[in-house]
Structure 1
């Protein structure tokens, strides 16, 4: 084992395929995020309207259009299935990895490029979000490409190179803007400006900034004008509600304390957490390198910026993972060259922690503390296998002597987790967050004329996606569709609890009805006769047959 030769150029792509692509279609979609974005893209393809995003046929202005376009193209290529829903996220992770490789290969070495890339794809946050359908991986791709282009432009030794790379930076900033909005313009500014000040080349951005802005505007302008002509109030809602209020309002969504991201960062950088202190200690002598300075600012400033915002979601710091991979690679390489013990002892701690977690699953299982139903007794063993696999490669990392072998062992650690752990999720969670099986049970009772109702956008989206309907009525909670429901042409799509009995009675004259709910129940005694009630975990549904007494 100690003399084993490792070629990261072969191993790294294989790890990517096993971790990111093979498990992609195996697990059902998670509610609400994955089903929401699947449905928005499905409606875009179905309607042929590639300008205005809709959700359940209602205007949906929370994000611009690029992420929905990428998801829609994925569905056109691969069909409407679990794989296609997540494929754009995987593509984006691969794109970010490519940008990282090109950056490090050009400005450090090819060996360091493969080490950085191996670290990046194995980071828990990168792999978790990169195999999950949200827009953050796509946003991170375009930002990573933009940051990389800025650095290539900074190092270009002629005007042609600067025109090309600053132009590419503008292109990618524009695409990032079309994915998640104004942050795409702000984040490069608050990173690139301090970097140029540190390098004493601040005038560079003043000379070339106009070119970046011009290209970004050219990229954004066609859709920006088209959405304004189609929906004149889009930009007001998107700028004021989705940016200003989310950042500063006292009632901002997902309000969290300042330290929120620092609490999640250790989890985000697993399996490298226990060797990160060693990497940090050995970075000091490399701070004279422009790329290391740039990576440091690129990693730290976005995290600090998002920490100042009132509204916080853990996925916001995903763009900081690429520069963190660079810093970890350089620091660990330096530590290895100095033959420090940090790498070894970090691996020892890693192995012990993961072995304890693996054992804990079996101990809790045999003590009867795991929330398992009959027929689920294999699930703790899958969790045990996933974490034992991790601990095994931590042990191998202790024994190996080459840097590439150690990096390979660390990159392999989470592979078992992403291959097996999804199948260890208990029915308790499946029947609360993954409604595919429950909707399949309801399908025989649904025709194209059945009136569908849901108690929340999360349950609504499940009916949309799995039944291919965009005419579901909302009951009780408007959630993220409150703005879309405020339009006069959508007012009748929301039913209050007080209106429900009369609504059912009226609609029953012509069709059947189905109400899908999660974690709540109907006041059955106050409603017309319920023909059938369904229950699976937190999911429940009520079926009302057509009233034939008037036929």
Structure 2
């Protein structure tokens, strides 16, 4: 790559990524998406199911396996190491950020713009969340960002660049192996719409290389699907029908559901709104390609996602890339214009609204911390005092940037706030959001009487995959209404919502020995929360022959 990523800016970005995606990444309890990925990875390692993944003993073909393979590598290095498993997603996030920066340099030829846009991206809540959790989303978009970078290089080259087209095909294939066509639709297609409309790249002499790119993409991205189709065709057809139906029938929302997409940027929501309406007060920006390209890219993404019946907020992740570029443009424009005596009143007013809102919100954080963190007893008074001094110091810097019209320092202040939160406040946040009364099934791993004993749950109940992850073993369904079914698997441990005496036949109980192990609660949320769910509460009983 001609672009020097590891310049001074590159090293700063790397440090930001390390803090954003790796520091204190064990604080939050794994959610259902992570549990699915990590259970599948564990069974790959322990059962050798690398090409035909399973989850809790059943075929798991709903998602392509590349992210799970990477998680399985972490499982091989250090079994059940949550920090390392999440770190694999962190490496994918670093890849995304690196290609995001290089793409900005390639298109805009302005490293300051690329650097500021990258900081804005790294301080968007959703990017931080996806880079700290072992789910699939970050992988497919990271690889697609790489494909977009090489595609731009290929489009911009005067001669046909076979190397760039080939690399674009490789990264597209890796994206397809991460989450199927998701990133093709949500990231690549909007990019192509915007780039081709704004820059109108010449394809003279490049069509053969483009065809090679497509072939490479198909080879890298589709070989696993071909393998599964050949050896598990019926299962693959069933999964394809189920997933297609899900896109139409599951989580269906109205077309305007994503109207609040700007909120996904978190602290930068008002800045993104300001960048959307920039042409209203600044006529000179209406025709600038540097502004129109990311703006059209972002709006195309939102429109295309709105056309799909199934909608979830996390599907807006690819919007953040083009949104960060759009906001980065506005910050650089302000940095240049506000220093001039001829700066417009509109620019000054809109900037001050943004800066003062951020500064005020940051300044009141210690007050909110007193009411919602200190008073319930989550932190001590000295800890709150130290954090308050830190936060108010940052707020003072933000106020100064608002008064002196310094947008670059505004971005820097918010960055320091985020890095400080990730280093010092996340462990305290774990006390707030995690269930203090959790008694996880994971404790059964250390019980000698349950070593090498198979686990079962009542087949009439729904088993949450989070319990399978916590238990560190498969938990298979069992017909507990029939004595013969239970006797055939003895000795075993059973998970039941009620006591075993309430769910097993009386005749069976007379002929076996039962040892009550205890009640376990794997709820992430406290009992006082509306998210508390009885499906995570189980009694565990050891059954043996008399």
Q: What is the deviation of 1:108?
A: 2.4
Change beyond 3 A, Cα 1:31–1:91:
same
Please list the CA deviations of residues 486-524 of structure 1 after superposition, one character each: whole Å capped at 9, or x if unmatched. xxxxxxxx54xxx4463675258x3142306xxx54685
SS for the counterpart of 1:51 is coil
Q: Using the alignment, how far apart are the partners of 1:98 and 1:109 within structure 2?
A: 15
Q: What is the deviation of 1:237?
A: 3.6
Matched with 2:491 is 511
Counterparts of 1:380-529 in structure 2, within 5 Å, are: 392-400=393-401, 403-419=407-423, 420-421=425-426, 423-426=428-431, 429-430=434-435, 437-440=440-443, 443-444=446-447, 445-453=449-457, 459-463=464-468, 465-470=469-474, 472-474=475-477, 495=479, 499-500=480-481, 502=483, 506=487, 510-515=490-495, 521=498, 524-527=501-504
Matched with 1:51 is 51
Change beyond 3 A, Cα 1:254–1:503:
farther
> Is 1:276 aligned to residue 272 of structure 2?
yes
Asked if 2 retains the 8 angstrom alpha-carbon contact of 1:174 and 1:215, the reply is: yes
Please list the CA deviations of residues 242-287 of structure 1 after superposition, one character each: whole Å capped at 9, or x if unmatched. 2x3233x2xx222233333333531x21222233344444476456
Q: Using the alignment, how far apart are the partners of 2:387 and 2:257 within structure 1?
A: 28
Please list the CA deviations of residues 67-91 of structure 1 after superposition, one character each: whole Å capped at 9, or x if unmatched. 1122222333454311122112111
Matched with 1:263 is 260
Choose 188-197 or 63-72, whichever is displaced more: 188-197
Change beyond 3 A, Cα 1:181–1:545:
closer
Asked if 1 retains the 8 angstrom alpha-carbon contact of 2:378 and 2:428, the reply is: no
Asked if 1 retains the 8 angstrom alpha-carbon contact of 2:169 and 2:217, the reply is: yes
Asked if 1 retains the 8 angstrom alpha-carbon contact of 2:92 and 2:138, the reply is: yes
Change beyond 3 A, Cα 1:385–1:275:
farther
Q: Using the alignment, how far apart are the partners of 1:504 and 1:392 within structure 2?
A: 66
Q: Using the alignment, how far apart are the partners of 1:427 and 1:438 within structure 2?
A: 21
Q: What is the deviation of 1:240?
A: 3.1
Q: What is the deviation of 1:360?
A: 3.2
Q: Using the alignment, how far apart are the partners of 1:466 and 1:290 within structure 2?
A: 51
Counterparts of 1:142-541 in structure 2, within 5 Å, are: 142-159=143-160, 161=161, 163-187=162-186, 188-193=188-193, 195-201=195-201, 209-242=210-243, 244-247=244-247, 249=248, 252-263=249-260, 265-266=262-263, 268-282=264-278, 285-286=284-285, 288=287, 290=289, 292-339=291-338, 340-341=347-348, 342-364=350-372, 376-378=377-379, 392-400=393-401, 403-419=407-423, 420-421=425-426, 423-426=428-431, 429-430=434-435, 437-440=440-443, 443-444=446-447, 445-453=449-457, 459-463=464-468, 465-470=469-474, 472-474=475-477, 495=479, 499-500=480-481, 502=483, 506=487, 510-515=490-495, 521=498, 524-527=501-504, 531-532=515-516, 533-536=518-521, 538=534, 539-541=536-538
Q: What is the deviation of 1:138?
A: 0.4
Q: Using the alignment, how far apart are the partners of 1:523 and 1:336 within structure 2?
A: 68
Matched with 2:531 is none
Q: Using the alignment, how far apart are the partners of 1:382 and 1:535 within structure 2?
A: 32
Change beyond 3 A, Cα 1:343–1:388:
farther
Q: Using the alignment, how far apart are the partners of 1:383 and 1:128 within structure 2?
A: 24
Q: Using the alignment, how far apart are the partners of 2:333 and 2:50 within structure 1?
A: 50
Change beyond 3 A, Cα 1:74–1:388:
farther
Q: What is the deviation of 1:328?
A: 0.9
Q: Using the alignment, how far apart are the partners of 1:261 and 1:229 within structure 2?
A: 39
Matched with 1:123 is 124
Change beyond 3 A, Cα 1:360–1:12:
same
Change beyond 3 A, Cα 1:12–1:208:
closer
Q: TM-score, normalised by structure 1?
A: 0.79
Please list the CA deviations of residues 138-188 of structure 1 after superposition, one character each: whole Å capped at 9, or x if unmatched. 0110121122222222211111x2x22222222211111111112344442
Aligned residues: 498
- State the Cα RMSD in Å: 3.4
Q: Using the alignment, how far apart are the partners of 1:200 and 1:79 within structure 2?
A: 50
Change beyond 3 A, Cα 1:360–1:257:
farther
Q: Which stretches in structure 1 are left out of the alignment for 5+ residues?
A: 1-6, 371-375, 475-493
Asked if 2 retains the 8 angstrom alpha-carbon contact of 1:52 and 1:227, the reply is: yes
Change beyond 3 A, Cα 1:280–1:391:
farther
SS for the counterpart of 1:469 is coil
Q: Which has the higher contact order (CA 8 A, sep 6+)?
A: 1
Q: TM-score, normalised by structure 2?
A: 0.80
Change beyond 3 A, Cα 1:349–1:173:
same
Matched with 2:69 is 69
Q: What is the deviation of 1:112?
A: 1.8
Matched with 1:489 is none
Asked if 1 retains the 8 angstrom alpha-carbon contact of 2:172 and 2:221, the reply is: no
Asked if 2 retains the 8 angstrom alpha-carbon contact of 1:174 and 1:184, the reply is: no
Q: Which stretches in structure 2 are left out of the alignment for 5+ residues?
A: 1-7, 339-346, 522-526, 528-533
Choose 295-304 or 95-104, whichever is displaced more: 295-304
Asked if 1 retains the 8 angstrom alpha-carbon contact of 2:520 and 2:538, the reply is: yes
Q: Using the alignment, how far apart are the partners of 1:123 and 1:391 within structure 2?
A: 21
Asked if 2 retains the 8 angstrom alpha-carbon contact of 1:361 and 1:384, the reply is: no
Matched with 2:530 is none
Q: What is the deviation of 1:238?
A: 4.4
SS for the counterpart of 2:215 is helix
